[in-house]
């Protein structure tokens, strides 16, 4: 699938506007390079979205406020980890913002839909991210391959997917789930192998939260 031009689109959101949104949300300031990368990522997302329907939100600043901000919040809430799997990455949320904000983390974007995986490859290439793409179902990933952290956001059949994602968390590693008041109980009940360390209220979402659980080490 041919990639659209990297020349940008009209009405783009600037790095400065993203910086203001981050400040308005009360998050830690980002480096200028990260802000520039987020602006370029948004340009790519908008161009490819016309073909692939990567996000139902079409207005650029709404994408920043409804998607980018909570993914940046996730990146800033992450503990110190070296590797991360973004399970069901879709448009790269939260994996790409994590790779931008936390470049020390090696991110794997797992997306089995071919066209979405093509977008993720283009985004990681254009942005020069410390990230790769796994374009098959997680069940086909090499046995024994695990990560320091696994994230899930807006994944179909979230409880079932979280159980699969758990198998890719190393002992002592972390699962970070984007949840709501309605889904929190089922997610926690379905993952007895995690110690739920904390939860973080997501900015701008009255009932949204990040659940951070650490995999219990076998004795």
153-162 pLDDT, tens digit per residue, is 988 899 999 9
Average pLDDT over residues 201-205: 90
38-92 pLDDT, tens digit per residue, is 999 999 999 998 888 888 888 999 999 999 999 999 999 999 999 999 999 999 9
Give domain 15-215's CATH architecture: 3-Layer(aba) Sandwich (3.40)
176-194 pLDDT, tens digit per residue, is 999 999 999 999 999 999 9
* Domain assignments of the chain as residue spans, ordered by start: 15-215
pLDDT level of residue 142 (50, 70, 90 thresholds)? confident
- Over 109-176, what HEC string results? EECCCHHHHHHHHHHHHHHCCCEEEECCCHHHCCCCCCEEEEEECCCCCHHHHHHHHHCCEEEEEEEE
Query: pTM for the full model?
Result: 0.92
pLDDT at residue 6, rounded to an integer: 36
């Amino acid at each position: 699938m041919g990639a659209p031009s990297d020349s940008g689109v009209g009405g783009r959101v600037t790095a400065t506007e993203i910086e203001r949104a981050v400040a308005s949300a009360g998050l830690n300031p980002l480096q200028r390079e990260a802000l520039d990368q987020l602006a370029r990522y948004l340009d790519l997302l908008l161009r490819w979205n016309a073909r692939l329907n990567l996000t139902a939100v079409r207005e650029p600043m709404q994408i920043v406020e409804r998607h980018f901000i909570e993914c940046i919040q996730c990146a800033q809430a992450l503990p110190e980890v070296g590797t991360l799997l973004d399970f069901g990455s879709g448009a790269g949320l939260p994996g790409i913002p994590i790779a931008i904000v936390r470049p020390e983390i090696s991110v794997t974007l797992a997306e089995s839909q071919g066209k979405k995986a093509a977008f993720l490859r283009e985004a990681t290439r254009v942005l020069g991210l410390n990230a790769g793409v796994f374009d098959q179902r997680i069940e086909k990933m090499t046995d024994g391959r695990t990560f320091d952290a696994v994230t899930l956001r807006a994944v179909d059949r979230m409880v079932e997917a979280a159980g699969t994602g758990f198998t890719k968390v190393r002992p002592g590693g972390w699962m970070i789930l984007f949840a709501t008041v309605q889904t929190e109980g089922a997610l926690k009940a379905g993952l007895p192998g995690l110690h739920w360390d904390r939860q973080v209220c997501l900015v701008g979402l009255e009932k949204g939260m990040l659940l951070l659980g650490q995999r219990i080490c076998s004795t």
